[in-house]
Structure 1
Amino acid sequence: MVQYITKAGDQWDIIAKNVYGDEYKADLLMAANFPLLDIFQFDAGIVVECPELTETLNETMPPWRI
């Protein structure tokens, strides 16, 4: 698991974009960091655990075709 150290003003979607290149992966970060869920905008220096992506899905195909 990778750790991300926040900068002042970071938000879940910004962190997901920085770590995964996709702001829609914020739900993965939130699930891995339950104690931090009450934070909307982070102060600098908070450690956020970032789980590694284990599976890449082809998002252009419907799920029943994968």
Structure 2
Amino acid sequence: MSKTYTTVQGDTWDGIAYKILGDEKHLTALMNLNFKYRKYVIFPSGIVLTLPEIEVSTDSYKEKLPPWKR
């Protein structure tokens, strides 16, 4: 079953990608999955978006840390 997110007034594509998916880099996947809403820059409340399946890698988190914190 797909996960969804219901927008609140003022949401943006990049804001949703960061807040829900953890990084703005997932913006394209989010937009491609919800193509019919592409005209929105700032969302009204109540639009249900389907969220892409994002693989979370703990290795990339560790790579961002300085060597003394790994």
Task: Pick the TM interval, shorter chain.
Answer: 0.7 to 0.9
CA distance in 2, matches of 1:32, 1:14: 16
Count of aligned pairs: 59
User: Secondary structure of the residue that 1:16 maps to in structure 2?
Assistant: helix
CA distance in 1, matches of 2:25, 2:15: 10
Rg larger in structure: 2
TM-score normalized by structure 2? Answer: 0.73
Q: Which runs of 5+ in 2 are unaligned?
A: 64-70
Q: For 1:29-58, what per-residue CA distance to the aligned partner results, in whole angstroms no more than 9, with x for missing partners?
A: 0000010001110001110110111475x6
The AA in structure 2 aligned to 1:39 is Y
TM-score normalized by structure 1? Answer: 0.77
The answer to whether residue 31 in structure 2 is matched with residue 30 in structure 1 is: yes
RMSD: 1.6
**Residue of structure 1 in register with 2:8 after alignment:** 7
Q: What percentage of residue pairs aligned between the two structures are identical?
A: 36
CA distance in 2, matches of 1:7, 1:52: 21
**Residue of structure 2 in register with 1:64 after alignment:** none
